[in-house]
Amino acid sequence: MFIHRIPKRFYSRINWKLQESCGVPQYDTGCTYCQADIPSDLPIDYETSLTRTSAVPTKHVMILSQTPVNKLPSKIELIPGSIPNEIIKYKKLYQTNTQRVLISNIFLNNQKSVLDNYGVSGGKQLVMLYPDMKIIKFQMNHLDQFVQKYLFSKQEPVYNPFAPAATDDSKDSDDIIVEDENFEEFSIDKDMILTCGHKARDLRCGIISPLLLNEIDSVLKKKNMEDDVYVGEISHIGGHAYAGNLLYYPKDCESDRDFIWYGRVFPDKIQGIIDDTVIDKSIIKNLFRGDVDRYL
C-alpha cells in the first residue's frame, strides 16, 4: 500500500549534487559488459521516466536473513515465525499518515561473518534500522518491544477503508512495556549497496542481480573499498519492470532524503554509480527512482 506523506524539507550532512547521466566505464573488470538474458515475456520498461516510481520509506528495517534472497518465497511475510510475518500484528503502531516503514530481508556477501561478529545465534535477530543508523540485536519474543521502542509513531494510523478490520491479535501501544536490556545496539559505520535479487517475486531482478553484485565486488576491490561498504541483496522493493534495482544508503544517512534508489541499472553503470554517487555524492537523474525536486 502506498502511504501518503506530508511533504517536508530535510537537511543532512550530505550535500547531494545532481547530474543527468551515469559516467561511462573506464575499464573492463570482466563483468562490466555482461548482458542479462531476460525472457521476452518479461520485458524491462525503458520508456517510463523513473522519477517518483518508488515509494521510498521514512524508516527501513533490514533483517539479516538466514536465507539467501534468491531462495526466499515470493512473499516474505508468509514465512511462519519470521519478523515480516509476526510484525504485521503491530502494523497500526508504525504505519501512519506521516511514517512509512518498509520491512525487508537482506543477505550480505559476508553475511555469515557479520552474524558471527555480532554473536547471532539461538533465535536472536539482527536488523539494521535506517535512518536511525543502528544495528539492533534482540530475541524474537521481544518483537513487540522492538516495534514500540524503534518504530512506534504517535501519529494517527493510516485509514484504509478496504483493509480488513483489526483482529484480536493486533496490539496497542499501551499494552507493551519496553525493557531496554532486551536490546543490544551498535552503530552502522559503513555504506550499504543492495540490489534486488528476489527471484521468486520477479525473474528479472533474479537474473540481473548476480551480474550487478559481481561488478560491484570487482570495482570496490579495485578501489580498495571492499571493507568500507556492505554489499548484498534485498527482497522485493517494487518496480521490477525497472530492473535492475539498486539501493545506496550512505553511512552518514540522516533521513529518507539520503535513501538513493536507482532503476534500470546494468553492470556497465556500476563504475559510474560508485564514482559519482558513492564517492562524489551525486545523484544520477536518469537512474533515480526518487523525487529529484527534493534535492533542488
Q: Tell me the pTM.
A: 0.90
Does 236 share its domain with 256? yes
Q: Is residue 65 part of a domain?
A: yes
What are the Cα distances from residue 166, in Å, to 85, 90, 163, 175? 15, 10, 9, 16
> Are 34 and 144 found together in one domain?
no
Tell me the residue range of the domain where 91 lies. 59-187
Summarised one tens digit per residue, pLDDT across range 277-292 is 999 999 999 999 999 9
Which residue(s) pair with 104 in the sheet?
A: 62
Give the integer Cα–Cα distance in Å for 28 and 218.
10
Give the cell for residue 204: 528479472
Cell 518504530 sits at which residue?
151
List the CATH number of the domain containing 209.
3.40.30.10
Q: Collect all residues with Cβ–Cβ distance below 8 Å to 46 and sequence separation of at least 6.
A: 264
CA 1 – CA 56 distance, rounded (Å): 12
Q: Each residue of 121-173: pLDDT tens digit?
A: 888 999 999 999 999 999 999 999 999 999 998 765 555 544 444 444 556 67
Domain boundary among 125, 156, 187: 187
Residue 167 is part of a domain; what is its CATH number?
3.40.30
How confident is the prediction for the chain on average, in pLDDT?
91
